Structures are given as structure tokens and as C-alpha cells.
Amino acid sequence: MSAAPVPIFVISLARATARRAQVENEFAKIGFDYALFDGVDGQACEAELRKRTDEVAWRRNMGAPLSLGHLGCYASHVELWRQIGVGQDEIVLICEDDVTFTPDFPNALQTALELADRWDIVRFSRIRAKGPLKQVERGSFTLNAYWGPFTGNGCYLIKRSVAARLADSFYPITRAHDHELNRFFKHDIRLMGLEPFTAPPRDQGESFITGTAMADAKKFPKHKRLAYYWQKIANYGKRLHWLARQGLFSVLGS
């Protein structure tokens, strides 16, 4: 394998041997070197993570019980951001260990780097990506902002200055990490996606966040999720307001 145009870190628990083997196979497909970043184990670090978490806010914002897997995932990204923030690399690619790559991923990565003046974080992977707003087209790819829910942290580029700033502002934990990033209006960041997404997460097998076959992805009954629905609606308005203020509507260019 050869060096990628930017450093690549893959977040993975030390005990996730099968997932690390899958990651190795995926990177062999695209021929890029990468480094493993040992993630924070939510079970092993439960006491410490609970101290950094507002559990009442979590239940309100997620409409679900507190998940140790989500807490560990959250802390893993933030701690890696902290490391990037004091490093020398201006832009870094972060992947989770369920990432997969399409053959177009190297081209997508290069395209995103060429458009680096248009984003602070750009995702190549998504769970949800609602309400795309075209920013620029480059070849077969489109850089989008999103006025709807845009979640999933399977693979994304982040700038060093942004990583440093977010690492200092992301605690306490009040919701899942990708949901917090979707509050780009609060953190004043240009969160973008490059479509088509070329690094989709593996959609089967065991997850250290949601369990096997999503068994640990529990939610409260609907009548106990009213606060969750309210803040979800409110966030639509906040995203739209921030995007309009930044002039990110109808800015399509080449």
C-alpha cells in the first residue's frame, strides 16, 4: 500500500479483532496506508464517561436510554480530535472500523481536498442525509450542505483547527456524536457531504454501539419522546437559519 494524500486514522477498539481484519481488507482495495487509533471502550470507562455526560439531556435529546457504546464512540472521536488539534497535519481523514470503500473513493478524496476552501468537515459516509443543498459540482461529485438530518461518522475529513476547537467544546455529552455534529449551527462549522457517498458503513454484523442486528438500539415509547420530537423540529429551524445566514442556499458553482 502507499501513502494517502492525507493521514488516515481508523477508530477501533483494541478488542475488535474481527473488525480490524475487515478494515485491513478494505484499505487493501484502495491501496492506502492508515493508522489504528484505539477507541474509548464505553464498558471499561463507564464511570469516567458518565461524569462527562448529562444523562437527563441525553434522554431528552435522543428519546432513548443512555448507551455505553454511544458514549465510547463519542469520546473516541473527541480524543482523536484532540490529538489532531495539537499535531502538524492540516487535514486528516477519520474512519470508523465498519467503513467500506467503493472503487471511486480515491477520486472522491482527491476531489474533496481540491474543494477544501468550501468545508470544515466533509463526510464520505452517511446514515441519514436529508435536504441536500448543492454547493459545487466537480466531475461526477457534488458537495452538499444539508438542512435536514445528516448523521453518520463512518468516514470524514476534518481540518486541524476545527478539530482543536471542537475537542474543547464537545463535553458534556448530551446526544450521540454525529447528532451533535449535525448541530453545526451551534459549533459554527460548515458540515458538508460529498455525493455520491463512496464510503458506506457495513450494514450487518456486530456493532459495539448498537449490538448485533441493532439489538441494543432501544428507544422510549412515542408518548415518552415528546421532548425529543420538539427539539428535533426546533433544530430544523436552527439549521435553516444558520445556512441562510452563511449564504449556503443557491450557491452552486464550479
Q: Is 252 part of a structural domain of the chain?
A: no
Residue 44: CB partners within 8 Å, gap ≥ 6?
none
- Count structural domains, the chain: 1
pLDDT at 90 over 50: yes
pLDDT (tens digit per residue) in 5-60: 999 999 999 999 999 999 999 999 999 999 999 999 999 999 999 999 999 999 99
Q: Distance between alpha carbon 171 and the CA centroid of its chain, in Å?
A: 16
Question: Which residues constitute the domain of residue 104?
Answer: 8-245
Using alpha carbons, select from 59, 78, 102 the residue that is nearest to residue 178.
Answer: 78
pLDDT at 84 over 90: yes
49 phi-psi bin (left φ>0, alpha ψ -120 to 50, beta other): alpha
Q: Is 146 part of a structural domain of the chain?
A: yes
Q: Is 253 part of a structural domain of the chain?
A: no
Q: Is 250 part of a structural domain of the chain?
A: no
Give the DSSP H or E segment for 180: helix 177-181
Position 254 confidence tier, pLDDT thresholds 50, 70, 90: very low
The confidence score (pLDDT) of residue 218 equals 72
Position 223 confidence tier, pLDDT thresholds 50, 70, 90: low
Q: Is 205 part of a structural domain of the chain?
A: yes
pLDDT at 179 over 70: yes
pLDDT at 246 over 80: yes
Q: What mean pLDDT is predicted for residues 84-91?
A: 98
Decide: 156 and 94 in contact? Cβ < 8 Å.
Answer: yes
Set of cell numbers at residue 44: 471499561
Predicted TM-score (pTM) above 0.95: no
Q: Is 251 part of a structural domain of the chain?
A: no
CATH number at residue 234: 3.90.550
Q: Is 3 part of a structural domain of the chain?
A: no
- Tell me the three-class secondary structure of 92-150, residue by residue: EEEEECCECCCCCHHHHHHHHHHCHHHCCEEECCCCEECCEEEEEEECCEEEEEECCCE
Q: From CA 58, how far away is CA 176, in angstroms rounded?
A: 8
